[in-house]
Each structure stands twice: as structure tokens, then as C-alpha cells.
């Protein structure tokens, strides 16, 4: 027999299955019927092909409740050593975005789930979105994790050739080591888009007479069923017609069986039989497209144009290889810079988890069980999907953001109940840098409401919560231009954060310039820094001395803005002084408010002075005194009312974003914008309003 015929390739097949906890029940079920179930049936049909499988915690909980028979079949395959269970962070967090203690909690929660339910001890770890940082090995080693998977893109960034990515390696930090396996990019893009023979050809080209090479295939299970593929879905490709009338998965498995030099293997078995190639250190990063998506839009466009030229072979091959190796994109955490709403959720989560730890330290006599549900809510809020956006990622999906906010607020609400039992204060005015942007923020809260105010961004409110219902009325998305927008897509770039009580000075203007953000801003208050002038346990006053530019003159203007919390009401009081007297009917003061009362399903009402209005329709300028918006979803049942001291003119319009996913373009409702117009005359302006948050009756409890 020739050496070539004796050559082999170890070929670990790794399947990753995940659904965000805030996703809809019918999405779970559709993915189950079209992806999870048919794949496990096909795996069962081929008992000699070994696989490795990872399930996220939200999906495991859903399967346990809705299809326990599926998990029983998975365990049967595990017991006969056909599959290996891969662990990870239970709620599919980006580990690099968490404090070390939370990394441990997430990993331990997954280990405990498999151990307590099926006496299984995962030894491998799935990195959510394959986000790697070099400081992870000590945490993983401490938790008993022996190996993980990292995109070969990072190996190439570290200077390793394609040939060198066909082996396992050791990496370490602070002397704590784990094994790492490169994820093969070439195969990831072949499956299931090309005939299985293309994958076989790639493996054949890289056969190894020394029987050490390991080429790792990783795929989302959802990719093999619910993804769109031209005029059909991958369910049709994988389990019905394939490309030649035969189901792709079946053809793929048959091709493996027909080439016995391909050795499918469980990762832990491979490590028992083969030593890693040696020591390696990899840079911070993720997969190539994620690194591109995390860039600011102008740079992303430039990089994608360059990448397209490489793909189309418009660049010298040697230069093209350099581009692939050295163009690194950005790091995942920069999504928190790119999308302010993602940063709000992340930093609110950090504030909450720190508060939990501090309370635990103050109350050492309380058992860990007293805090168990609180931590579960907090950990669920760390799920990664809502913190980013590319072709996937869910920061634009208000229902996913709503679920994350709800988990954070629920944790705070439950923590407040413990504090009340122990006589600890739940009403306070705290000043510190919540958003970690270099400026102090303010938290006003009592047992019913919490209000988060940014001094750096116009002294405006970025989170306003009704604790009892776990509801954030400022779950609003600031619009921006994405790389996939074009002249044909009417996307808007907001200059100012779509928060509440952004202070504008405007000339008389047409309504559409407000909605399209093309209006002339003649003050320097919105999105600018306000000093904290004074505060008590129930109120805070912010001050800014700025300018209004009117008819070529710079008018010195001072705004004192006081927020006061009373039960479920937030009172807002403005005192504005001008250095000269302002003539009437020249300009208006406009405190912009943005709120949202749309979870899912979309059941809302808007009421202006007793008359209904549609939240997703623009309203002509109207004089009003009371604006009410209600979420009538049976699981939410909440209301927000804005009550002006005197009738004022308001322009009201929906905030709509145009997003792109694997399902194409879609217009998404992101909130309702209210521009109040208060006429100015003389040297002083006083303006008052109050915002009331309240639960409606007959809220249903989710089972």
C-alpha cells in the first residue's frame, strides 16, 4: 500500500445550537423541526460517525420543557460515545465582556446543568461568537476546561500558515494552560453551500502520513435548516433535495464513510491519543466577518471594498495574501462604542451585578439560595446576541433588548426586596460613571422607579425603569447609517442620542426635518456636558452654561434642569436664562423626549388629550397637555404619561431603522420621538413637566 493511501486526516465535526432566551416560542419550534430534530435523526442513522455538540443554556431549558425526548436521544448518543458534549457559558455570553467571577458562574452553570440532569461532565468549551482574549486560560483551567476552539483567522494573524493550522496547540496565561483547536475557515464556507465532494477534496489535499493532522469543522445547527438559500431554505438543501436530488447531510455523511482515511473523532479522544503540536499565543479577536462588522461604518465600507477586490482577484495574489493576513478589523467590544444602546445594557448589567455582590457582602447571614434567582436574572442578561449587529446579532431587535433590560431590572427589583427586609435603603441619588465614558452619571431611584442620567450627553435620561414590571421605557435605538445602506434605502443618522430631555434650541422649521434629522441646531446643549449642581436623595439639578447662535449673534444661555423622583412620578423643572432679551416668534426651546412602549407582540395605544394616535405614524404638530402611551401586551401591561404644566405644541413621530439580516431588509420600530416646542420671549424661560410610570391591571404571569 502506498504512503498516500495510508495517510489520514482527523476530522472533528462540531455542531453549535443556540437560540436567544428572548426569542419567540414559534422561532424555537421552527428551528427544532427544521434544524435540531432532523440533524439528530441523521446522526442517529450513521452510528459510526462521531460528532461534538454544543447547546446554549436557553435552548437547553427550552428543549427540557418542550422536547425532553430530544435530549434523551442526545444522551443515548453520548452514552454510546458517538457524540461529545461541549460546554460553555450557560447563557451564551461573550466571556471577554464579563468580570472573571461571572465567567466562572456562567461556565459552572453549564457544567452543573449537564451534571445534575444527565451526569455528564463537559471538558470542552464553546466560545460564544468565537471571541477570544489571551487572558482566558486561567479561568478555563480553573473550571476544569481542557480545550476550546478558535478561528484559524487568529492563527493567521499571529503569523501561522494554513498548514500550521492543521494541529492542536497549547496556550497559556500566568502558567495556566489549555488546548486550542483551529476552526477551519475553508470548510466552514463550503458547508452546506457546495457539493460534499468539495469538502472531501480539501481534506484529501491535506492528508497526513504521520496521522496527526486535525481539521476542525464547525457549523451552526440552524445553518443546516432555517437559513435562507436563494429561493429556498437550507432545510430543503440539507434534508430534502440537496443539489442533486439527494439530501446534502446524507450525501456528506456517505462521502465520509466512503473515504475511510477521514477519521471523525471526539475531541477528548483525540487529545488522549495525540499531543498538541506545541505552544502558541494568539491575539485578541473573533472570526473575520465579526471583526469587520465591529468597525465604524466608514472604515467597514473601506475594508469590505478591499476584501471584495481580493475575492474577485483584482489584486496581485501575493498582496492579496498579505491583506488576508494583516487586515484585522476591530475587536468585538467596540460594538459597545458603535451602539450606545448596547453599551447601556452592558453597563447597566455591570452596575447591577456589582450591587448584588455588595449586598451579599453586607448580608453574610443570608444564604446563597436567597440570591440564586437574582443571579439567574443577571446572568441571563449577559446573553451576547443583543449586544452587536452584523448579518446576525440583535441590537436592532427591540424584543431582544427588552428581554435583556427585563432581566436586569428584575434582578434589581428582587434585590430591593431583600434590602427592604433587612432595613437597607432603596431610595437614593448616586453619582458615578455608570457608562464608563469618563463623566459622572446620576442614578435616581426608589422602590418603584429608577432613572439613569448622563451628564456627558446633554444631562439626558438614558434609562427609565418601572421596577415592578421590569420595563425600561428608554429601550430606544439611536439610528445610524450602516455599511449596507444606500441612496435607495432611506436610512437616518441621528446626531444626538435618542434619549429623554435632550435640550434643543430651534428656529421655526418643517416637521420632516426633525424626523430626518436635517434640522438646524442653534444651541450647544444636546449631547453636551452638564455639571451636577446639587442633589438630594430624591432629586438632582444639572447646569450648563452654553451658547445660542441667532442671526450672527452668540447669546449666552444657562440651563438649570432639575429631576425629582416622587413615587412613580418624575418631575422635570427647567429654569433658562438668556444674556439678552429674546424677541417672540423667532425660536423655540425643544426638550426632546424619546420613549418606547412596544415589547412583543405589538399591542400599543397612544392617547393625546383623550384622542387615540398610532405610535408608528407621524403626528402633525398639535397643541396638547397630556400624552399617554401604553403597552397592552398581556405579559407587560404598563403605561407612561407625560403631563405638561401648560398646553404646548408637540411634534411626534416614530423612530424607524432599516436593518439587514440573513432574511433581507426590514424596517424596525425603535421608539416614539416627541419634540416639545416652547416659545421664547424675554430673558427667562420656565418650563415644567412630569412623567408618570405605572403598571396597568390584569398583567398575566408567564408560566
Q: What is the pLDDT of residue 3?
A: 44
In the chain, list all ranges with CATH 2.70.98.10: 502-695
Q: For residue 613, what is the enclosing H or E element?
A: strand 611-613
CB 182 within 8 A of CB 12: no
In the numeric block, the cell 425526548 is attached to 69
On the question of pLDDT at 287 being above 60, the answer is yes
Distance CA 339, CA 478 (A): 8
pLDDT of residue 4: 53
SS3 labels along 17-85: ECCCCCCCHHHHHHHHHHHHHHHHHHHHHCCCCCEEEEECHHHHHHHHHHCHHHHHHHHHHHHCCCEEE
User: Residue 401: which of 463, 483, 331 has the closest Cα?
Assistant: 463
Handedness of CA 226, 230, 232, 236 (dihedral sign): negative
Q: Encode pLDDT of 584-628 as tens digits.
A: 888 999 999 999 998 877 889 999 999 999 999 888 888 999 999
C-alpha cell at 346: 452592558
The residue-averaged pLDDT of 205-213 equals: 93
Residue 547, pLDDT > 60, answer yes
The third-level CATH classification (topology) of the domain covering 502-695 is Beta-galactosidase; Chain A, domain 5 (2.70.98)
pLDDT > 70? residue 413:
yes
CA distance to 615, 638, 657, 692, per residue, from 671 (Å): 8, 15, 10, 17
Chain length of the chain: 703
Q: Which residues of the chain form CATH 3.20.110.20? A: 3-294
Average pLDDT of every residue of the chain: 94
Scanning 119-257, the segments in alpha helix (DSSP H) are: 137-142, 152-157, 185-190, 196-205, 234-239, 248-257
Distance set, CA 113 to CA 88, 91, 117, 521 (Å): 11, 12, 6, 55
Instruction: State whether the Cα torsion 266-270-272-273 is positive or negative.
Output: positive
Rounded alpha-carbon distances, angstroms, from residue 120 to 114, 270, 299, 596: 5, 19, 45, 44
Which DSSP string corresponds to 254-300? Answer: HHHHT-TTEE---HHHHHHHS----B----SB--HHHHHHTS-HHHH
> Which residue(s) pair with 442 in the sheet?
431, 453
pLDDT digits (tens, 9 = 90+) for 617-652: 888 888 999 999 999 998 899 999 999 999 999 999
Average pLDDT of span 521-547: 95
Quick one: pLDDT at residue 313?
Answer: 84
pLDDT of residue 322: 82
Instruction: State residue 703's pLDDT score.
Output: 40
Structure-model confidence comparison of residues 299 and 490, the more confident one: 299
Query: Of the spans 276-280, 327-331, 425-429, which averages the highest pLDDT?
Result: 276-280
Q: What are the residues whose beta carbons fall under 8 Å from the beta carbon of 148, sequence distance 6 or more?
A: 124, 125, 126, 127, 136, 140, 178, 179, 180, 181
CATH number corresponding to 3-294: 3.20.110.20
Give 286's pLDDT tier (boundaries 50, 70, 90).
Answer: very high
Question: What pLDDT, on the 0 to 100 scale, is given for residue 695?
Answer: 95
- Please tell me the least confidently modeled range out of 119-128, 292-301, 386-395, 427-436: 386-395
Q: Under a CB-based contact definition with an 8 Å cutoff, are residues 9 and 215 in contact?
A: yes
- Predicted confidence band of residue 138 (pLDDT cuts 50, 70, 90): very high
pTM: 0.95
| pLDDT reading at 699 higher than 90 | no
What mean pLDDT do residues 112-130 have?
A: 98
Amino acid at each position: 500500500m502506498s504512503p498516500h493511501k495510508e495517510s489520514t486526516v482527523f476530522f472533528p465535526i462540531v455542531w453549535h445550537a443556540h437560540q436567544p432566551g428572548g426569542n419567540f416560542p414559534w422561532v424555537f419550534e421552527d428551528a427544532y423541526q427544521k434544524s435540531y430534530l432532523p440533524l439528530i435523526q441523521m446522526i442517529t442513522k450513521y452510528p459510526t460517525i462521531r460528532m461534538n455538540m454544543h447547546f446554549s443554556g436557553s435552548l437547553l431549558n427550552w428543549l427540557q420543557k418542550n422536547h425532553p425526548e430530544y435530549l434523551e436521544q442526545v444522551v443515548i448518543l453520548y452514552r454510546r460515545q458517538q457524540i461529545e458534549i461541549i460546554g460553555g457559558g450557560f447563557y451564551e455570553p461573550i466571556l471577554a465582556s464579563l468580570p472573571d467571577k461571572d465567567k466562572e458562574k456562567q461556565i459552572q452553570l453549564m457544567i452543573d446543568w449537564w451534571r445534575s440532569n444527565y451526569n455528564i461532565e463537559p471538558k470542552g468549551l464553546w466560545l460564544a461568537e468565537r471571541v477570544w482574549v489571551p487572558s482566558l486560560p486561567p479561568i478555563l483551567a480553573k473550571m476544569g476546561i481542557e480545550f476550546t476552539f478558535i478561528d484559524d483567522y487568529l492563527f493567521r494573524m499571529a503569523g501561522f500558515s494554513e498548514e500550521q493550522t492543521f494541529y492542536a496547540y497549547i496556550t497559556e496565561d500566568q502558567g495556566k494552560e489549555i488546548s486550542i483547536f483551529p476552526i477551519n475557515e475553508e470548510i466552514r464556507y463550503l458547508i452546506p453551500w457546495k457539493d460534499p465532494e468539495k469538502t472531501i477534496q480539501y481534506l484529501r489535499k491535506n492528508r497526513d502520513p504521520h496521522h496527526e493532522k486535525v481539521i476542525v469543522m464547525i457549523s451552526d445547527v440552524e445553518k443546516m435548516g432555517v437559513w435562507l438559500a436563494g429561493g429556498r431554505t437550507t432545510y430543503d438543501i440539507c434534508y430534502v433535495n440537496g443539489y442533486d436530488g439527494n439530501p446534502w447531510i446524507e450525501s456528506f455523511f456517505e462521502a465520509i464513510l466512503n473515504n475511510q482515511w477521514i477519521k471523525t473523532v471526539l475531541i477528548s479522544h483525540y487529545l488522549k491519543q495525540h499531543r498538541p503540536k506545541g505552544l502558541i499565543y494568539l491575539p485578541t479577536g473573533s472570526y473575520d466577518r465579526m471583526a469587520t462588522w465591529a468597525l465604524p461604518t466608514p472604515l467597514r465600507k473601506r475594508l469590505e471594498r478591499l476584501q471584495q477586490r481580493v475575492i474577485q482577484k483584482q489584486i496581485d495574489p501575493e498582496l492579496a495574501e498579505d491583506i488576508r493576513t494583516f487586515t484585522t478589523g476591530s475587536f468585538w467590544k467596540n460594538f459597545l462604542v458603535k451602539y450606545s444602546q448596547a453599551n447601556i445594557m452592558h453597563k447597566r448589567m455591570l452596575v447591577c451585578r456589582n450591587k448584588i455582590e455588595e449586598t451579599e457582602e453586607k448580608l453574610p447571614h443570608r444564604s446563597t439560595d436567597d440570591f440564586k434567582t437574582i443571579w439567574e436574572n443577571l446572568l441571563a442578561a449577559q446573553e451576547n446576541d443583543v449586544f452587536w449587529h452584523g448579518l446576525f446579532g440583535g441590537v436592532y431587535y427591540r424584543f431582544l433588548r427588552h428581554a435583556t433590560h427585563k432581566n436586569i431590572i428584575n434582578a434589581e427589583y428582587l434585590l430591593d426586596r431583600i434590602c427592604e427586609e433587612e432595613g437597607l435603603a432603596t431610595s437614593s441619588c448616586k453619582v458615578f460613571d455608570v457608562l464608563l465614558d469618563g463623566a459622572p452619571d446620576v442614578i435616581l431611584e426608589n422602590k418603584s422607579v429608577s432613572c439613569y442620567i448622563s451628564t456627558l450627553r446633554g444631562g439626558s435620561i438614558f434609562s427609565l425603569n418601572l421596577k415592578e414590571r421590569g420595563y425600561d421605557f428608554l429601550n430606544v435605538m439611536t439610528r445610524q447609517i450602516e455599511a449596507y445602506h444606500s441612496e435607495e434605502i432611506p436610512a437616518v443618522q441621528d446626531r444626538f442620542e435618542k434619549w429623554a430631555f435632550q435640550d434643543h434650541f430651534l428656529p421655526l422649521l418643517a416637521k420632516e426635518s426633525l424626523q430626518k434629522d436635517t434640522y438646524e441646531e442653534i444651541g450647544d446643549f444636546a449631547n453636551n456636558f452638564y455639571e451636577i449642581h446639587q442633589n438630594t436623595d430624591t432629586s438632582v439639578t444639572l447646569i450648563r452654561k452654553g451658547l445660542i447662535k441667532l442671526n450672527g449673534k452668540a447669546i449666552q444661555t444657562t440651563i438649570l434642569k432639575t429631576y425629582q423622583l416622587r413615587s412613580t412620578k418624575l418631575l422635570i423643572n427647567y429654569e433658562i436664562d438668556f444674556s439678552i432679551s429674546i424677541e417672540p416668534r423667532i425660536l423655540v426651546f425643544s426638550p426632546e423626549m424619546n420613549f418606547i412602549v412596544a415589547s412583543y407582540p405589538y399591542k400599543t395605544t397612544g392617547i393625546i388629550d383623550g384622542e387615540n394616535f398610532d405610535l408608528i405614524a407621524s403626528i402633525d404638530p398639535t397643541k396638547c397637555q397630556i400624552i399617554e402611551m401604553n403597552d397592552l401586551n398581556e405579559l407587560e401591561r404598563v403605561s407612561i404619561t407625560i403631563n405638561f404644566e401648560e398646553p404646548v405644541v408637540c411634534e411626534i413621530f416614530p423612530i424607524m431603522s432599516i436593518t439587514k439580516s440573513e432574511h433581507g431588509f426590514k424596517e424596525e420600530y425603535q421608539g416614539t420621538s416627541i419634540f416639545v416646542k416652547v416659545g421664547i420671549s424675554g430673558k427667562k424661560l420656565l418650563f415644567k413637566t412630569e412623567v408618570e410610570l405605572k403598571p396597568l391591571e390584569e398583567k398575566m404571569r408567564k408560566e
